[in-house]
Structure 1
Amino acid sequence: MPQDITLSRKAFVLDDHQLFADSFTLLLERYMQFEEVQSFSKAEDLLACMAELGTKEVYVFLDYYLYNDNGLQVFSEIKRLNKKAYIIFITSAVSTSVIRNLILAKPHGILSKSSDVPTMMDVTNRVIKGEISIDQNLQEILSKFDDIPSFTPRELQLLKHFSLGSSISEVAEKMFLSKHTIVAHRRKMMAKADCKSIGQLIRFAHDNELI
């Protein structure tokens, strides 16, 4: 039996695949003995709950790939709302660029969706004990860091919008930014990736599993 070190603690799970979110929630309830675990499929619902919770201690299991959002952008919002939140990314990513972006964000833990229950328990328990924990299944990926450029959460959010076919005006309206700011961000991202067009940039992002 696992130690009851998570007893009386609250956890949230955000994954836009509701079946995974619910299934992972059941695993946490069964093996980690959280007092309460709540699942979300939409980032705005999680953030609203975080705002209502205030600054109480909470453990957030956060997917990297989200339909309308990027996990890193949501990560930033969670940190803004609650400095006491412990955030563990759960990801299916196997790209060095994605894993590097996750590490640079400095979450409390990173867990691969291909892991087993003992690994999930180990990563979570280490985070609860105050350690930074990265799934051993990702170590081989971590050993193969390359020269792929890193992108900020804001840039990844922009890439997501562009990949869905949104125009500069539409992205500016959705993100409450000026069109000039969007153009400047796009130019900077293209320079980072050495791309000559937005089409090349989107292909680069897809090829490296950034979005």
Structure 2
Amino acid sequence: MKVLTHAVILDDHRLFADSFSLLLKKECDIDLIQSFDASKDFFSFLRTFGRNKIYVFLDYYFPNENGLSLLTEIRRINELAKVIVVTGAIAPSVIKSILQYRPDGMLSKACQIHHVMDCITAINQGRNYIIPEFKQMKPIDIENTQIFTARELEMLKYFSQGHSVAETASLTFLSPHTVVAHRRKMMAKTNCQTITQMLRYARDHELI
């Protein structure tokens, strides 16, 4: 008897998510597919789904969140979930930050359907999959970029929206002292003297 396969797409761009859903069902033989544009609705579904195998196609950019923090939460809720990051980013700093979280798969939104099929095949065989264009990045491009944690990227997002240290602390459930410590560490990483310089660095490297 055929075992049903399930997949979820979490992406705040509805047109992409719905189109990708149709593509997965038609070309990748996935039986049940749902798409969400808000993490709250997605996590409500994931908790009711139980600890069963499921493919999660996760975007990197969200208006008020970062995909890497969502990846960690997905694995906490369901250790059998296979998380595939699907991103439109091409900056080495973004790719390096994503890879440190070791997703089961990593695809570009510009990739071809056979890459998606290769990714699913690799995961089913117990292997991780990274799209060739990311693998082929020049080593120097990767080595010379700084790694940011999901928490740091979350703070960068809030700082870029004009939130103060106190407001960022409240939004991230941290103390102002901890936020300042994180900010100081990020500025040291990027060799920046001011928050404005750091945010410029983050935008130039597509981190936010």
TM-score by length of 2: 0.94
Q: How does 1:41-80 map to 2 (within 5 A)?
A: 41-80=37-76
Give the corresponding residue for 1:180.
177
- Equivalent position to 1:167, from 164, 169, 184: 164
Unaligned 5+ residue runs, structure 2? Answer: none
2:85 maps to a residue whose letter is F
Give the corresponding residue for 1:104.
100
1:139 maps to a residue whose letter is K
1:87 aligns with 2:83: yes
Task: Give the number of aligned pairs.
Answer: 206
Q: Which whole-Å CA distance do the structure 1 matches of 2:79 and 2:193 have between them?
A: 40
Task: Out of 131-140 and 68-77, give the one that drifted further.
Answer: 131-140
Identity of aligned residues (%): 42
SS in 2 for 1:145: helix
Give the corresponding residue for 1:146.
143
Unaligned 5+ residue runs, structure 1? Answer: none
CA contact (8 A) 2:96 2:145 kept: no
2:90 maps to a residue whose letter is V
TM-score by length of 1: 0.93
Question: CA offsets, 1:171-211, max 9 Å, x none?
Answer: 11111111111111111111111111111111111111111
Q: What displacement does 1:54 show?
A: 2.2
SS in 2 for 1:148: coil
Q: What displacement does 1:142 show?
A: 5.6
- Please identify runs of 4+ aligned residues in structure 1 that moved more than 6 A: none
Give the corresponding residue for 1:116.
112
Q: Which whole-Å CA distance do the structure 1 matches of 2:137 and 2:63 have between them?
A: 24
Structure 1 residues 53 and 142, CA gap change in structure 2 (3 angstroms): farther
Q: What displacement does 1:146 show?
A: 3.0
